[in-house]
Amino acid sequence: MHTEAIFEDIAHRIEGEIDKAEKSVIIAVAWFTNLNLFNAILRKSKQGCEVNLMITDDDINNNSFIDFEQLHGDNTAVWKIKSPDNNLMHNKFCVIDFSTVITGSYNWSYKAETNHENIVINYGDLSLAKQFINEFENIKALYFPDKPKREREFDIPLDNIIKRLEVLKNFIMLEDMEDISLTTRKLRKFKEQPVIQEIVTLTEKNLFGEAIEKIQEFIAQYQQLVVWDDPEINGLKLEIKMLENQINAFENEKADLEKTIQNFQHRHTNELGELILEILKLRKVKFKHDRQKAKEAEEDYNQYQQQYDTEIQKKVFVLDEEEQAELKKQYRTASILCHPDKFINESHEIQQLAEELFKELNEANSQNDLNRIEEILQNLQSGVLSVGRSNKMTDKRRLKQTIAKLMKKLEQLERELYALKNSDTYMQLAQITEWDRYFSENKELLQKELEELRNG
C-alpha cells in the first residue's frame, strides 16, 4: 500500500491508471467534460471492464461533447444526479479494480486543467476502496431508490481475508508447509488485489519473512478502519482517512523536492566548493585597494566559508539508483505508519513516540541512511504504534475538530509546495537535466576563472 500526490499533467496520469484497469472502474465526479478520459473508460468498457459513472445532471455535463449514452450496456451505467434541493453532487473520486483510489480537488473537466488542482492516488488499501465503493452505492440508493443494490464482486470479504492471513502467518510460524500451501491456494482467488497477490507470491517463493511483514502491515492498516452504524461518523471517519492520505502524499512530495535540492547542494559543495573558496579568497586580494569591493568580497568569502563548513560536515550516504529507489519505497511505507497526524487523538506518550519516530525517519531520509530506515520500518511493522486510534474515536465533535486541524495543515502544505516549486532555487535546478555534465562544465569554468585571477 502506498500513496502518491499528483499536481501536474493530472488528466494524463488518470488516463494511465484507467488503462491499467482489468475488472472495474467506478467514478463519481461533479463535472466530466474531458473527452480523452471518457474515451479511456469507454475503451475499458469495450474490453469487458464493468464501468459505473456518476455525474451531476446539469447543463455543463449535458451540453458537453461527450455522448454518455455510449456507456449504457450490460456492464456499464451512467448515473446522473439531479438534486431537488439543488445540493451539488460534489464528489471527485474513482476506484479501479476495487483497490486503487483516486481522489482530490480535480474534476474531470477541461476547466480543471487551468486551475491549481491535485489528486491523490492510493494503491492497495482495500478497506479504503470499499469505503468509497459503499459511498457510491449509498448516493445511488438515495437518488435511485427503485434500483436495487446488486451483489457485486467489489463486496470484498475483508474480515475473511484478515482471518485467512492470520491463519497463514501462524502456519508459517509453525513451519507447517502443508497447511501453508493449502491456505495460500485459498487466498489465490483474491489475487487481483495487489497486496494479496504480493503476499501469495512471496509465500509461493518461500520468502516467509517478507510475507509475514506484508501480512502484519496489511492487518495494521485494516484495523485502523472500522464500520460504524452511524453514517455521519462513517463519513467523518472516511474524510479523516483521506485527509491523512493527502497530507502524507503532499509531505512525501515536499520531502522529495527538498531532498533533491539538498543532494544537489551537497554535491555542489563537495565538487566545486574548494574552487569557489579559492576564487573568493583571490577576489579579496584583487580588490584590496577598492574599499567597497573589498568589503563585498570579504562578506562573500565569509558567507560561503560558513556554508561550506556546514555542508561538508553533513553525513550523507552515497547510494546507487537501486538503493535510492528502495530507500524511497521504504521511507514512504514507514511515513504512513508513523505520521503524527494519525495519533493526534491518542495519549501524550503515543503522540510523542510517533513524533520522535517521524523525526528520526526524516533525518535518516535526508542522510540517505537506508539501514536506519529499514530498522525504523521493521519496528513499526512489529506494532510499536498499533494502538487502534480510529476504533476509539466516536465523538462527532472530536472527529470534526480533527478534520479542521487536518484541513488547515493540508492548506499550509499546499502553500509550501507551491512556494517551493516556484522558488528560484528549484526552478533553476529543474532546468538541469544532467547533473554530471553540469558539474563537469562548471568545474572547467571555475578552474578557468581561478587561473585568470592567479595570472592577473
How does pLDDT run across 331-385, given as a tens digit for each residue?
Answer: 988 888 888 887 877 788 888 898 999 999 999 998 999 999 999 988 887 777 7
DSSP label of 85: T
pLDDT value, residue 389: 45
- pLDDT level of residue 102 (50, 70, 90 thresholds): very high
Location of each CATH 3.30.870.10 domain in the chain: 2-154
Instruction: Give the separation between CA 189 and CA 79, rounded to whole angstroms.
Output: 30
Q: Which amino acid is at 404?
A: A
Which residues are within 8 A (CB) of 280 and not within 5 positions of it... i.e. 6 or more apart? 297, 300, 301, 304
Give yes or no for a contact between 350 and 385, defined as CB atoms under 8 angstroms apart: yes
Give yes or no for a contact between 344 and 351, defined as CB atoms under 8 angstroms apart: yes
Q: Reply yes or no on whether the pLDDT at 111 is more than 80.
A: no
- 321-338 and 348-366 are packed helices; what angle lies between their axes, rounded to 10 degrees? 170
- pLDDT level of residue 230 (50, 70, 90 thresholds): low
Averaged confidence pLDDT in the chain: 84
pLDDT value, residue 442: 94
Mean pLDDT, residues 61-71:
86
Instruction: Give the separation between CA 442 and CA 432, rounded to whole angstroms.
Output: 12
- CATH fold of the domain at 2-154: Endonuclease; Chain A (3.30.870)
Mean pLDDT, residues 183-208:
83
- pLDDT level of residue 450 (50, 70, 90 thresholds): very high
Number of Cβ atoms within 10 Å of the Cβ of 212: 19
pLDDT value, residue 299: 93
- pLDDT level of residue 229 (50, 70, 90 thresholds): very low
pTM of the model as a whole? 0.59
Per-residue pLDDT of 254-291, as tens digits, reads: 888 898 898 899 999 999 999 999 999 999 888 888 88
- 396-421 and 231-286 are packed helices; what angle lies between their axes, rounded to 10 degrees? 30
pLDDT value, residue 88: 59
Structure-block grid coordinates of residue 134: 459503499
Per-residue pLDDT of 149-165, as tens digits, reads: 554 444 556 777 888 88
CA angle 452, 454, 456 (to 5 degrees): 65
- pLDDT level of residue 226 (50, 70, 90 thresholds): very low
pLDDT value, residue 126: 77
Q: Reply yes or no on whether the pLDDT at 454 is more than 70.
A: yes
Range from 5-14, 37-46, 121-130, 353-362 carrying the lowest mean pLDDT: 121-130
Per-residue pLDDT of 295-341, as tens digits, reads: 999 999 999 999 999 999 888 888 888 998 899 888 988 888 888 88
The residue that leads in pLDDT, 264 or 194, is 264
pLDDT value, residue 291: 87
- pLDDT level of residue 391 (50, 70, 90 thresholds): very low
pLDDT value, residue 153: 45
